Amino acid sequence: MPLPKIEGLATGGTAGPAHPGFCLDDLSGRLVELAGGADTAVLTLVTGVLLEAQLRGEPVAWVATGATTFFPPDLAASGIDLAALPVIQVEKGLPVLRAADALLRSGSFGVVVLDLGEQVSMTLAVQTRLVGLARRFATALIALTRSRNHPQRTRGPRSQSRANSLGSLVSLRAACTHRRTDFDRFTCELHALKDKRRGPGWRHTEVCRGPNGLC
């Protein structure tokens, strides 16, 4: 469930700049994996990127797997133009990869989201093709994954960056969590476990307002 954002900030780790940020410019041309467990803030954080792209006039697309996807009114409450967000519903496995390939190859989208649910792996050949297309057309390819074993609970930074990852060509992999800090306030945090551009360790935080049904 995406939560409407009140404010956002980024805090740097020792391996990167003071304010690495989490924005469309930083994600364009990259394969990004946002991972979370039961307390995930994955949908909230990716919604911010989609909104940024739409405000710039960049088309976005969402590829959903399985029987469920996001709750449209929640995205609308966050400012997303649902009429400009095509959603492609496919089965897991090869169909989702074919959909991603077709969307990227069109060169028409600033952001393509792959809502994969439980984590899956991609072969090196598939990663290479998708990453090449993302770079060619400056598209942010963002994979959303969920697992019972939360990445932050894995011991050691090296193990964190590898555990349950989609593959070695993921450019940015981050764990996403949220916690209630007031009656209707939630702090959503992204922790970079792997970042080929800036190094791991930095964090991005957004303070969000909880919807009526959650407060």
CATH code for position 139: 3.40.50.300
What does the alpha-carbon distance between residue 28 and residue 215 come to, in Å, rounded to a whole number?
Answer: 35
| Residue 28 three-state SS | coil
| DSSP class of 168 | T
Number of domains the chain is built from? 1
Specify the pTM.
0.82
What does the alpha-carbon distance between residue 100 and residue 207 come to, in Å, rounded to a whole number?
Answer: 31
What does the alpha-carbon distance between residue 90 and residue 61 come to, in Å, rounded to a whole number?
Answer: 13
What does the alpha-carbon distance between residue 83 and residue 32 come to, in Å, rounded to a whole number?
Answer: 25
Mean pLDDT, the chain, rounded, equals 81
Instruction: Enumerate the β-bridge partners of residue 38.
Output: none
What does the alpha-carbon distance between residue 109 and residue 93 come to, in Å, rounded to a whole number?
Answer: 22
pLDDT tens-digit series, residues 89-144: 998 888 999 999 999 999 999 999 999 887 567 899 999 999 999 999 999 999 99
Q: Which amino acid type is present at position 13?
A: G
What does the alpha-carbon distance between residue 212 and residue 171 come to, in Å, rounded to a whole number?
Answer: 36
- Cα Rg of the chain (Å, integer): 16
Going edge to edge, which strands form the sheet with 31-36?
A: 5-11, 203-209, 185-195, 172-182, 31-36, 140-146, 111-118, 60-65, 87-90
Cα dist. 125→121, 168, 171 in Å? 12, 11, 16
Confidence at 158, pLDDT banded by 50, 70, 90: very low
Find the distance separating the first CA and the last CA of the chain, reported in whole Å. 13
| Residue 62 three-state SS | strand
pLDDT tens-digit series, residues 182-199: 666 778 889 999 999 989
What does the alpha-carbon distance between residue 78 and residue 128 come to, in Å, rounded to a whole number?
Answer: 33
| Residue 118 three-state SS | strand
Residue 82 lies in domain: 5-214
